[in-house]
Structure 1
Amino acid sequence: MNNNELVKILENNYEEIERALAGKKALDEVMTSTEAAETWGKSMATVKRACQSGRFYPWEARKSQGTWLVTRAGMKRLYGELE
């Protein structure tokens, strides 16, 4: 990803980034990939592959001691709103 692409992504997601930086309900906005898969009705493998392949933006997913953590916003962006 080049700098121009990154700038476009940041501009298009300004409000989400601003909320994340403000720490608004930070712990409520992050979950394990297993929890996210169960909540959205996806297989754990599907969410893990999305994490590994870079489908999540860098601020939407990261690995912590072997566990993928994802944001609620990232899941909504990839898989839609919860019903």
Structure 2
Amino acid sequence: MLIAIPMSSITAHQEMLGIPFELAILMVTINSFLYNLHVCFGDPVSAGWITPAIPLIGAWGVANFAAGPERIHA
């Protein structure tokens, strides 16, 4: 779940933000790493679907902006 949902958002990042594959996978990897980092510090967590889906939801939310810098800044 923590891998499938973020990795499925890579295509949405590419289409919605107009960024290359390498940058999209980097964004998803950093997001997933930071999401799991707090567990290493002893914070109890029950994984859900919404937090790993943040990149996908964010990409969907900026669909009204032109591809390129405008979408990235949104």
Does TM, scored on the shorter chain, surpass 0.5?
no
What TM-score, normalized to structure 2? 0.36
What TM-score, normalized to structure 1? 0.33
